[in-house]
Amino acid sequence: MPELPEVEAARRGIHDQLRGRTIVGIELLRPGLVQSEAGLTIDLLQDQSIDDTSRHGKYMVWHTEPMALVVHMKMTGQFVARGDGIPGFVSGHPVPAYDTELPHKSTHLILDFEGEARLYFTDIRHFGRIWLVPHDDLADHMARLRLGPDLLSDAFTLEALRDRLRRRSIGRIKPILLDQTTVAGLGNIYVDEVLWYAKIHPSRTAESLTDAEIDRIYEGIVETMKIAVPEGGAKINRSKALTDLGQFPFIHAREGFPCQHCGATITKTKVNNRGTYLCLDCQPERGRLSS
């Protein structure tokens, strides 16, 4: 968290509400947020604008005249845009609460835009990063990340997923899907959702999966993104229980609630030290379901 849907929501908010507006103020409150290449500095954004945006997996790119900015929200990043001249948006980690007064102690960057609009980046764990990259070096910078196909791109096909899973045959399926070199954009929440949809235990090895099961995983990714992206991601606050069974996510963070497939109780375990939610009736550790 944030994963592809949350990052895409931030990208769309910036693209739709702030693109083309002149940046009239820059306040970098945590210098470690910004990593520079070729001597670039964040001050170069003064009197410039974000001309375009793009995204690959969990990485968002702002395209400006002086440079490209590669943004990763990491575990607890949150973007908030407010101002009289825009509708405003918020996306990313739900802590602090989305309506918290800004700036606060975890606010690391503030960009002021013409027309009374302001963009805040907050991060309670201080893991978020922005890389300042010359335009000519952007392709090489992204290539060094070794990202798999983006889940919303034409490159993400059933054949591509099958090929990548066959290369990692001895690994457990959940860590393989979490690995951004397999596919780009999935994190802990959405892998739980996908494997529950596909009725696959997260500890199953890739080599144990039938073609039909890989088909279900692919379908699960596609269907999960269809739900999560329009909603701007999963609305999970760990301090508040999820009580509405019709609310997305359907299994993650729902320990003790009934499975919406079969009614059995959802359990929580760990797979490679990651908190994992599953239904043991729908997702048996051994054996394969035929449907």
Which regions of the chain does DSSP assign to beta strands (E)?
A: 23-28, 34-36, 50-56, 59-64, 68-72, 77-83, 89-92, 107-113, 117-123, 129-133, 267-271, 274-278
Q: Which of 11, 21, 55, 58 is catalytic?
A: 58
* Distance, CA of 55 to CA of 228 (rounded, Å): 16
- Catalytic, 2? Answer yes
Q: Which two tokens stand for residue 170?
A: 């001895």
Burial class (CB in 10 A: 0-12, 13-18, 19+), 112: middle
Question: Cβ(267)–Cβ(278) under 8 Å?
Answer: yes
- Catalytic, 219? Answer no
- Catalytic, 231? Answer no
Q: Which two tokens stand for residue 66?
A: 């002086």
- 3 Cβ contact list (under 8 Å, min separation 6): 58, 185, 186, 187, 188, 189, 190, 233
Question: Cβ(278)–Cβ(192) under 8 Å?
Answer: yes
- Catalytic, 19? Answer no
Q: Which of 3, 6, 8, 193 is catalytic?
A: 3
Q: Which of 82, 235, 274, 288 is catalytic?
A: 274
Catalytic residue annotation: 2-3, 58, 274
